[in-house]
Amino acid sequence: MRFQATITCKTSNIAVDIACDKEETKRMLELASIPVASGGICVDEEDLEDVIKKIGYPIVIKPLDGNHGKGASINVTKWEDAVTGLAYAKNYSRRVIVEKFITGFDFRVLIIDHKLVAAAKREPAHVNGDGTQTIQQLIDETNQDPRRGYGHENVLTQIDVDRDTTDLLEKLGYTLETVPNRGEVVYLKSTANLSTGGTSVDVTDMMHPENIFLCERISRVIGLDVCGVDIMAENLTQPLKENGGCILEVNAAPGFRMHLAPSEGLPRNVASPVIDMLYPPGKPSRIPIIAVTGTNGKTTTTRLIAHIVKNNGYKVGFTTSDGFMFKIT
Ligand SMILES: Nc1ncnc2c1ncn2[C@@H]1O[C@H](COP(=O)(O)OP(=O)(O)O)[C@@H](O)[C@H]1O
Ligand SMILES: [Mg+2]
C-alpha cells in the first residue's frame, strides 16, 4: 500500500486532474446543480474586460491550477487592480480564473470514501492588537508559538510578510510599524490557507444534513476518494442554497492538519477512515507469522512449515540461517 501525502494508491488519476483544474471542476459541479461562483477564464486583458462586464465587481482573480492561495487577488473592485491581479496570477498559470467575490467565511470539508469526516472553519493569518506593540512585533510574537513551524512540518505555519500582507495593510492605511488598538484584529492575508499562517476551528458537528449530502455528492461527482472541498459561506448550519454559499474548489491531497489539530474545537481522527477504506474492517489484511525456536533444526523445521503452507496455496516468506526467502509465483 502506498501513500503520498493524502493521496492513496486508490486515488483516481483522472479525479486528481479534474480537481487540479478549477474550471473543469466548476463546470462539472455546475452540471450537477452544485452552487459555484460565476465567472470565466482569462488569458489577456480583453478576456478580463469581457468577464467583468458579465459578472461585475467585486471579483477574485486566481491561477487556474493554483494552490495554497498563491497568485490570488481577492475582492478586487476596480479595473487597475484587476489588471495587476491578472498579471500577478499569470506568474503562476497561463490561464486565469476570474470569478465573483463571495462574502463569508472559508470552510474546508473533508470527505473520505464519499463520507463526510470533518469540517473546519478557516481564518486567515492575523494578529490581535494590544495597544502597545507594532504589527511587526505582534507577528514576531505570534510566530513564537511552538505550534508554528515552516511549511507543513508542524500543526500551524509561520506568518511571512509578503505582497498580500503589505497590500492589505495599505488598504487600512497601516504599515508594519502601526500599533493596532487593544482588541483590534488585523488580518495579514486575504486567503485562509493554513500554509500561509491561517488557523482553523472544527465545525463538523454543526453541518446541516443537506450540506453533508452536497459535499458527499461532490466527492462522487469528481470521483475523489480523499477529497477536500473549499466552501465560502456565512455558515454551514444552513443549506448553501439558502445562504448563498458557493463551492470554491475541490482539493486532491487535502491537508489533514486543520482537522487533526484544530486551533479550536474537537480534534478529529481523520486518518482512520483512510485506513478503513484501504483495509475494510473484516477483510483479511494481516500477515500471519509462525515463529520457530530451539537449538538445532530450526532451519529444517522452518523449511518444512514453509513447504506445507505453500502447498496449501499461500504465498510464503521465511527466514533461516541461510537468509531471507520470498518467491512470488
Ligand atoms: N470567489 C471567491 N470569493 C471569495 N473568496 C475567494 C474566492 N475564490 C477564492 N477565494 C479565497 O481564496 C482562497 C484560495 O482560493 P482557492 O480557490 O481555494 O484556491 P487555492 O487552490 O489557492 O486554495 C479561498 O480559500 C478563499 O479564501
Ligand atoms: Mg483552496
Nearest to 61 by CA among 38, 88, 80: 88
Q: Which atom of ligand 1 approaches the CA of 190 most closely?
A: 27
Please name which of 216, 4, 230 lies closest in space to residue 113, comparing C-alpha atoms. 216
Share of the chain above pLDDT 90, in %: 87
Residues lining ion ligand 2 (Cβ < 5 A) are: 230
pLDDT for the residue 276: 93
Mutate which of 193, 195, 196, 258 to test ligand 1's pocket (most atoms within 8 Å of Cβ)?
193
CB atoms under 10 Å from CB of 9, counted, come to 9
Flag the least confident range among 39-43, 147-151, 248-252.
147-151
The residues facing 325 across adjacent strands are: 318
- Count CB atoms within 10 A of the CB of residue 247: 24
pLDDT at 327: 67
Q: Does position 264 have pLDDT exceeding 90, yes or no?
A: yes
Give pTM, 2 decimals.
0.84
String of DSSP letters for 257-298: HHHHS-SBS-----SHHHHHHHS-TTS-----------SS-H
- Give distance in angstroms: CA of 303 to centre of ligand 1: 61
How many whole angstroms from 307 Cα to the centroid of ligand 1? 60
Give me the mean pLDDT over the 255-281 stretch: 94
* Residue found by looking up cell 493521496 in the block: 7
Using the predicted structure, report yes or no on whether residue 329 has a pLDDT greater than 60: no
The CA 290 to ligand 2 mean position distance, Å, reads 49
285-309 mean pLDDT: 92
The reported pLDDT for the residue numbered 253 is 96
Predicted confidence at residue 66, as pLDDT, reads 85
What is the mean pLDDT of the segment spanning 151-159? 89
The sign of the torsion formed by the CA atoms of 9, 14, 19, 25 equals negative
End-to-end Cα, the chain, rounded Å: 20
At residue 1 the predicted structure's pLDDT band, cuts being 50, 70 and 90, is confident
Strand-pairing partners, residue 118, are: 110
Output the CA 251–ligand 2 centroid distance in Å.
7
List, chain by chain if needed, residues with CB within 6 Å of any ligand 1 atom: 37, 60, 62, 66-70, 72, 74, 99-102, 106, 191-193, 230, 232, 248-249
pLDDT tier at 328, thresholds 50, 70, 90: low
Task: Report the run of H or E that residue 55 belongs to, with start and end.
Answer: helix 45-55
